[in-house]
Structure 1
Amino acid sequence: MLRTTTRLLPAVAAILVVAVLAGCSTAPGKPVDDYAGEPKGVEAPASSAGGASWAAWLDGGERFAIVLYGSSTCPPKVATVSATANDSITATLAPAPGGVCTHDFVPHTTVFTTPDRIAKSGEVSVVLPDSTLTLPADRG
């Protein structure tokens, strides 16, 4: 019995280490709101002219919005976000819907709670698959 316990001890220890490390990783955040148009009460930056994606702080930095442009019937949406560093958030896009989409080009906003790991001062990068947006140091 002692030999079996001695052999199992390293395996149990390895499982515990994996469980602890998994607990330290940041789970992807799901949207808390998602709607057509730009964020309410936020002025679009000049850089968004022509339909460039942008991001903005909401509620003094407690939440943030990502604005993407595309078809109003098949809007581009952000599915999840996760903190990859104190000053960086990685965003995953939702799969494109099937079917026929209109050829208009309008804004669509997805709102997330700011991950705990994100520093509350300084600029924050929001990394999308094809671009990087910047949340300004000023939390509004």
Structure 2
Amino acid sequence: MPLISRPAARVRLPFAAAGVVLVALALAGCSGASSKPIEDYKGEPKGVDAPASSAGGAAFAVWLKDGAQFAIALYGSSSCPPKVASVSVTASNQMKATLAPAPGGICTRDYVPHTTVFATPSGVTTTSDVSIMLPDTTLTLPGLRG
């Protein structure tokens, strides 16, 4: 009898392991995997006007390429610019932005914009407002109309 039950146990083990892997993959898909920047540069986002709310150096976010991408503009030193390292979806039309570590060293005392561009994550609806949480503020990407 032990010879008969042994092969059955060997067959069940790979199926059980496959089930655990599938559950882990499904949960990872719901966890809001981080998206890395596709572009990062000095200045305000290319090809769009900065919103009036950015006067005085306030951070802002704008849609690019008809919602296929979005940009986050942060203000700070030109020699040690604040950069967004990644974004992750945390809830329906809500994202969390993680800032890159400060480079250290001596930074100039100027105050200029720096832009980081991301592909719009799947599951984000561009026709509704999108909130992007930063450590010290929340930015709003207004929904695109028609």
Q: TM-score, normalised by structure 1?
A: 0.88
For 1:50 and 1:14, the matched residues in 2 are separated by 52
Secondary structure in 2 matching 1:89 = strand
In structure 2, the gaps of 5 or more residues are 1-5
Does the CA contact (< 8 Å) of 1:67 and 1:109 recur in 2?
A: yes
How far is 1:138 from its partner? Answer: 2.3
Distance 1:36 1:18, change over 3 A: same
| Structure 1 residue 20, shift from structure 2 partner | 3.0
Q: Could you tell me how far 1:84 is from its partner in structure 2? A: 1.7
From 121, 143, 146, give the equivalent of 1:137. 143
Aligned equivalent of 2:79, options 69, 73, 81:
73
Aligned pair count reads: 140
The structure that has the greater radius of gyration is 2
1:86 aligns with 2:96: no
Q: Does 1:103 find its partner at 2:142?
A: no
Question: Alpha carbons of 1:85 and 1:139: their partners in 2 closer, same or farther (altered >3 Å)?
Answer: farther
Identical residues among aligned pairs (%):
61
Deviations 1:64-121 (A, max 9, x none): 0000000000000000011222311111000000110000000000000000110131
- Asked if 1:62 is matched to 2:68, the reply is yes
Which of the numbers 35, 46, 57 marks the counterpart of 2:52?
46
Does the CA contact (< 8 Å) of 1:126 and 1:133 recur in 2? yes
Instruction: Report deviation, 1:55.
Output: 0.4
Within the candidate set 25, 37, 43, 1:37 is matched to 43
Runs of 4+ residues deviating >6 angstroms: none
Structure 2 length-normalised TM: 0.84
Amino acid at match of 1:97: P
Distance change (3 Å), C-alpha of 1:110 and 1:71: same
Match of 1:112 among 110, 113, 118: 118
